[in-house]
A and B are shown apart, each in its own frame.
Chain A
Amino acid sequence: MRKVLKSTAAVLAMTVAGAASADKANDTLNVAFTKELENVDSYFNSSREGVVLQRAIWDGLIYRDPDTNEYEGNLATEWNWIDDVTLELKLREDVTFHNGEKFNADDVVYTVNYVADEANGAKTQRNVNWMKSAEKVDDYTVRIILKEPFPAAIEFLSGPVSMYPDEYYAKVGPTGMGLEPVGTGPYKVTEVVPGQHFVLEKYEGYHDSPKGQPSIGKIDIRTVPDVNTQLAEMFNGALDLIWQVPADQAEKMAQLDQFNVVNESTMRIGYLTLDAAGRTGEDNPFTKQKVRQAVAHAIDSQTLVDALLKGKSKVVKSACFPSQFGCEQEVTTYDYDPEKAKALLAEAGYPDGFTTEFYAYRDRDYAEAIANFLNAVGIETEFNMLQYSALRELRASEGTPVSFQTWGSYSINDTSAITSQFFKFGDLDDARDPEVRDALAIADSSTDPEVRKENYSKALKMIADNAYWVPMFSYNTNYVFNNDVSYTPTPDEVLRFTTMTWN
């Protein structure tokens, strides 16, 4: 009876105080995802949630320090290029997978050969399609063979390419791996309800990794699609940490003592892409350089950042994210100057402006503000908000005169992950400038960092001179957690459970 009374009292106390302290007592961090994750197997999802789990469950051969951007060994201890397309790596000898399998060269060979084979259908081909195969040299030495020179290889090996246990993966495949993931990472998975619920537990046998040792014992992740519900669960203590919280909600949470709100930038940038190639019609005004420059002068990016994006967002001038390798900052810039924009339009033969279709797929408030800046200088916009896939199809098939786009570079800190994706005559290339394409082609495949820098710089300067894109701002995200949790977010929008601790 006394015991019952005691526990009732405890429950009451908990209810009064909010359940937050109980989770710290249970050493369980409750986290919400907004989106349903399709598959935990990191080669078979393309979500940010997937990247978060990937970094917790698996390890890459190499590690990039998110603060200094320096590369360090993780599952590999050292690596060197035998030639342009052969990378030899020495592996750690003291690593064990969560299921007890020893990590060695066979695992690397199996993983690389499996994901690099297009027939196996890895969802994010760009992460793996630069690798041809892998060969075992001895138990703890492997060679990764590239299809062609690919200087961003180290960046990819430190990011999306993680190592799987060969025997287990051969047996269960991507579906089995998604339901019962096994890796070498700081957290092992104890429960998966596809799309809904993921439970991670600290892996006691974690090797001496640059990621650091996990501190919090258990991470309980639930998918809660509605932001308001997430906030409610923060208030009643059922959640300890949420992220991607909209700016207006985050501002309100920041005023309350029981929450920490931390804002950090992401690699995503927002830009306008203009139909310079005339895909929507030869007589399209945007085929004229002066019209495109007028658009660049018409938009006040600083005001967009101050009034709408807030936080750590910054004005972006070049067609890439500033921290990316090769992202030249010394390019032609266009100050906010509506009068100059009008003058340029008049010079181009549009003294009274013109009317154009304007497309966007997300952040309607930003898109409307941008359209208003255009209206102010005489470019009347017919505003079209489409589903992402519908707009992408339209852009790929017949193009759009002007559309508001964003790109997150899938957290790859290299200009090849953004500029090269859009200016090499692909479906979404609105400029189709052969000089830009050729410069990017050299930059993407050279193994000499100086040659790469020089050619990215050349391409980005041409893009800016011609105003093919009008880069505007970088995005940011808000992390909200209660006072029990200590966490310093990184600028790449990846939640790192390993660096979270209880206060």
Chain B
Amino acid sequence: MLQFILKRLGLALLVALTVSFISFILLFLSGDPASALAGESATDQDVAAIRELYGFDRPMLVQYASWLFDALRGDFGESYYFRLPVASLLAERLQVTMLLGLCGISFALLTAVPLGVVAAIRPNSMIDRFALFLSVAGQALPSFWFGLILIVAFSIKLQWLPASGTATWKHFIMPTIVLGYYAMPAIMRLTRGGMLEVLSSDYIRTARAKGASEGRVMFKHALRNAIIPVVSLAAVQMGFMLGGSIVVESIFALHGAGYLAWESIARNDLPTVQALILVFSMFYIVFTFLADVLNAWLDPRMRAG
């Protein structure tokens, strides 16, 4: 088991390094960083001054190496755009994103798991159909559109909820729903599928035969087994939410890490983008790693892989 974990950890680190290198190269390919930083109203002199100031005239590999060297010592440098330490910028923006991600995944789990269970207990019932409809809609609705519909309904028509900002807990309600709803269908279908499979298995029949109550059969025996793949799926979804809430953050003006990443790419703010990519890939790696370990712990056959 330890060997498995170490092997996985080494692989994860290699992935992180590769991701950071590729993204660095891609940023350079996407346009002259000095022009992007200088902005659209810059004159030739402005661009030249910025190129020299940040050393963009050095070879790309040298620039990457110098970034990596500093990053390994924990120094992510200063944002070219904001002129503030990247670390403090990230700390501030990640709070919003992590809060949103936690709310989103909780919302998804709290709605998807019960619905999935009920749908499995009564397959093809009205509830099952309703759950199917919800999940199809959730998969099909683009989040920018769903977000705007919620804004029209709850901010403009009913005036119950604020449309943008992070000032109060009320500001997080709509973003949570939009973000969580996107993750919900997969979790629900997986719960339903898992439950259906488990419910028809022998040990459930045994449990029923020995006279266990229906509630005990459902939650103690069935759900506990059916939920295992759901946990690993939720872990991956969580990684996605932390790195991929760009659209939601932009619509609701949340100023989290996703939006910062999106904007920093457009601005070619290399230190910020590099640090964010490292953090995002770490999220993915940590969550998939946890899911792997969890699965391996549950199923010894996977430890070989």
Contact = CB atoms under 8 A, between A and B. Distances in A.
A-B interaction: yes
Interface of A: 15, 18-19, 36, 38-39, 44, 46-47, 118, 121, 123-126, 129, 174-175, 178, 194-196, 222-226, 228-229, 232-233, 235-236, 238, 386-393, 396, 407-408, 410, 421, 426-428
B81 to A, nearest CB: 5
24 contacts: A46-B38, A124-B41, A124-B42, A125-B43, A178-B83, A222-B164, A222-B165, A226-B253, A229-B151, A229-B163, A229-B251, A232-B163, A233-B164, A386-B31, A387-B31, A388-B36, A389-B32, A389-B35, A389-B36, A389-B268, A391-B31, A396-B32, A408-B40, A426-B44
Contacts of B38: 46, 123
B155 A421 contact: no
Contacts of B31: 386-393
Contacts of B252: 229
Contact of A236 (B35, B40, B155, B251): B155
Given A226-B253, A229-B148, 17 more contacts: A38-B83, A39-B82, A46-B38, A46-B41, A125-B46, A126-B43, A126-B46, A195-B82, A196-B255, A223-B255, A226-B251, A236-B156, A389-B36, A390-B32, A392-B35, A407-B41, A426-B43
A227 to B, nearest CB: 11
B163 A174 contact: no
Q: Which of the listed residues B42, B50, B250 has the most CB atoms from chain A within 10 Å of its own CB?
A: B42
Interface string B237-253: 00000000000001111
B33 interface: yes
Contacts of A196: 255
Instruction: Pick the 9 closest A-B CB pairs, nearest first.
Output: A389-B31, A389-B36, A390-B31, A393-B32, A46-B39, A389-B35, A392-B35, A224-B253, A426-B44
B49 A195 contact: no
Contacts of A390: 30-32
Interface string B195-231: 0000000000000000000000000000000000000
Contacts of A232: 148, 151-152, 155-156, 163-164
Interface string B271-301: 0000000000000000000000000000000
Given A46-B38, A123-B38, A393-B35, A229 B44 contact: no
B263 interface: yes
A225 B46 CA distance: 26
A426 B159 CA distance: 54
B253 A46 contact: no
Contacts of A393: 31-32, 35
B283 to A, nearest CB: 22
Nearest to B53: A121
A18 B45 contact: no
Contacts of A224: 164-165, 253
Nearest to A173: B83
Given A226-B251, A392-B35, A410 B41 contact: yes
B193 interface: no
A388 B40 contact: yes
A349 to B, nearest CB: 34
Contacts of B36: 387-389
A427 B159 contact: no
B259 interface: yes
B17 interface: no
Contacts of B251: 226, 228-229
B65 interface: no
